[in-house]
Amino acid sequence: MPHNPLLAPWDMPYGLPPFAAIRPEHCEPAVRTAMAEHLRELDAIAANPEPIDFANTAVAFDNAGATYKRIALVFANLVAAESSPGLQAAELAVMPLLAGHDAAVLQHPGVFARLTTLFDHRHGLGAEKLRLVERLHLDFCLAGARLPAQARQRALEIAHQLAELQTHFAQNVLADERDFVIELSAADVASLSAGLQSAARQAAAERGHNDAYLLPLSRSQVMPLLATCPRRELRERVWRAWVRRGQLQAERDNTAVIQAILALRHELASLHGYSDFASFALSDTMAGGPQAVQQLLQRAWQPALLKVRGERDELAQLAAVNGQSEPLAAWDWRFWSDKLRTARHAVDDDAVKPYFSLRAMTAAMFDCAKRLFGLSFVEQTGIATYHPDVRVYEVHGQNDQMVGIFLTDNYARPSKRGGAWMNEYRYQKKAGGVVLPIVGNHNNFAKPAAGQECLLSLDDARTLFHEFGHGLHGLLSNATYERLAGTRVLRDFVELPSQLFEHWVLEPAVLAQHARHAQTGEPIALALVENLLAARRFGGGLETVEYLSSALLDQALHTDPSVKLDNLDLWERTELDRLGMPAEVMPRHRLPHFLHLFSGPEYAAAYYVYIWAEVLDADAFGAFVEAGDPFDAAVAERLKTCIYSAGNTQEPGAAFRAFRGRDPDVAAMLHKRGLDTV
């Protein structure tokens, strides 16, 4: 190939990738070239005749593979945010290459020998240097560097195979969410709110059907419909399609993919001497193993079951009183719950949404970042990105010094995977010269028609703030070494900065300033703010049981190597019955579309991390409550230093204690979810 923009110098502003020039055919050749370059750099480190020291081993390894890392990051981001048939074909070829290379890097015998010598003589290093050496050595050990040669080779093969299977899994889910749309009749459309009607018309237009109304399988449209649509048959039709993503087409059924992934994961754990994959995967977490995870999940599960059963009985009675002759079903729950919440707390989503426009909530989150951490976000126009919806911001800190680049990509589209996530195009570091982070936030809000505001539900607004919390974690990073920078922390600590930032969505001071009606500019009424605050824990049983059941299924799958999933639906229902799950409730994620578990390794056996981090975030926000000010300067500075900027430069338990002055208390999480009074 005469010119490959992925391998050429990137001359875009701020070092952004040359998005407009990248083509699917560039990806595999660039990855292969960069992989070879990276391995040559590692060979040079291993062959260095100078005495082993921190600089020529740990720092050299941390700095190696710069070309490979930047290509791998942009590729992974593009296949998630703006895929295409060509890019999906490239993904099937490239993802196994990336996984195999990453595993091979962490098994490099010469580099591992030098790191082991450095590790054995690490005492006397400064705190951050010590942390880097210990983390790198553990990375190598977990990748199999200490295994016998045959086992190391098998671990490499498993990495290849898992990457291919995980890619198939994700592509199957994306295809269902992209291709399966529900065509709405005139009666269906008439039963929808004005916002859902507009979104359905927009979704049809995007697919070339200008005279139709289509409902795609997007959470930002499915959940509001289930909550507000009075047509029970439409709710059922939408719900059944929603929960069968990953199974909607026989040729894309993820059942066999899941079986193969689980078998390989358990084999990998066995190679490392563990009885099950969860024990292996959780060995490098705050929890330390499945037992601690189960203890936390069960502590919340039993009160959550009591709470959700009470909610079920209330809703069944409300449905019957209002003329529903059929028993309460899963597709009824949100509809009657919304009616009850409106009656009890005078909180109507259609009345609330105009005060939570995307424009206003973006300004609110930027303002919170300014008041807490001194950050300013300055939009830059005219910069080519991978899609016109993407917006680019310079991020400035103290003395107007630039600290990073922030990209937002907020709207759903057929070429984008579902859900919400944060990514990094470039990690922050200081060794070898200051490198500023490039961070992206992705959401899947329904895009409004031209000239209209994007109105968010309260759940959408929380998601916006959640992902921005991850973004701040990357942008505020102040680590010396890339391996310790930003979000590269233990898996059950990474959700703390994101979940903590959600607390500011409903802060009265934030709402008073930013929650203004999208059309009139009128500030939100104090009475409505009070109602929103009073309703915070309404329906908490459903929310908690939906989440916890998914986390418990995750643990069951990854702690028992003998699990058989020939009939996936039957296994799932049997396991839920064993847990005491009400039949009217479904897990937040059914296994065929459980991207957290099966599209990559990060959350496998680790979906519990959200509630583990909630123990931390609920207690952490208590520091502001105790100070009497959600923007208390001293608490905010401590939060920035100990949590958002620290990256992985210290053990996470120590980081939390440095901020809070003590270990976290689980009672704060139980109170936040309303489980302490059940």
Kindly tell me if the per-residue pLDDT of 199 is higher than 60. yes
CA atoms of 220 and 199, how far apart (whole Å): 10
Kindly tell me if the per-residue pLDDT of 678 is higher than 80. no
Q: Is 467 a catalytic residue?
A: yes
- C-alpha triplet 79, 422, 142: angle, nearest 5°: 85
Determine the pLDDT at residue 631.
98
- C-alpha triplet 328, 331, 335: angle, nearest 5°: 85
Decide: 479 and 430 in contact? Cβ < 8 Å.
yes
Determine the pLDDT at residue 590.
96
Determine the pLDDT at residue 676.
84
Q: What percent of the chain has pLDDT over 90?
A: 92
Determine the pLDDT at residue 479.
98
Domains of the chain: 13-146 (1.20.1050.40), 180-245 (no CATH), 354-431+450-534 (1.10.1370.40)
Kindly tell me if the per-residue pLDDT of 107 is higher than 90. yes
Please tell me which residue in 311, 467, 572, 614 is annotated as part of the active site.
467
Mind listing the pLDDT tens digit for each residue in 453-480? 999 999 999 999 999 999 999 999 999 9
* Mean local confidence (pLDDT), 417-424: 94
SS3 93: helix
Residues in CB range of 428: below 8 A, 6 or more apart? 404, 435, 436, 437, 474, 477, 478, 479, 482, 485, 486
The pLDDT-based confidence of 536 (bands split at 50, 70, 90) is: confident
- Read off the DSSP letter of residue 357: B
Determine the pLDDT at residue 2.
66
Determine the pLDDT at residue 521.
95
Kindly tell me if the per-residue pLDDT of 609 is higher than 80. yes
Q: In the predicted model, what is the mean pLDDT of the chain?
A: 95
The pLDDT-based confidence of 537 (bands split at 50, 70, 90) is: confident
First to last CA, the chain: 65
Determine the pLDDT at residue 247.
95
Mind listing the pLDDT tens digit for each residue in 242-290? 999 999 999 999 999 999 999 999 999 999 999 999 999 999 999 999 9
CA atoms of 588 and 383, how far apart (whole Å): 38
Mind listing the pLDDT tens digit for each residue in 128-175? 999 999 999 999 999 999 999 999 999 999 999 999 999 999 999 999
Kindly tell me if the per-residue pLDDT of 1 is higher than 60. no
Determine the pLDDT at residue 220.
87
The pLDDT-based confidence of 299 (bands split at 50, 70, 90) is: very high
* Mean local confidence (pLDDT), 280-305: 97
CA atoms of 341 and 569, how far apart (whole Å): 32
* Mean local confidence (pLDDT), 405-413: 96
Q: Is the dihedral of CA 490, 495, 498, 504 positive or negative?
A: negative
Decide: 99 and 160 in contact? Cβ < 8 Å.
yes
Kindly tell me if the per-residue pLDDT of 409 is higher than 60. yes
The pLDDT-based confidence of 566 (bands split at 50, 70, 90) is: confident
**pTM to 2 decimal places:** 0.93
As a three-state string, the secondary structure of 503-565 is HHHHCHHHHHHHCECCCCCCECCHHHHHHHHHCCCCCHHHHHHHHHHHHHHHHHHHHCCCCCC
Determine the pLDDT at residue 564.
86
Say if residue 564 is exposed, middle or buried (CB neighbours under 10 Å; 0-12, 13-18, 19+): exposed
* Mean local confidence (pLDDT), 590-606: 96
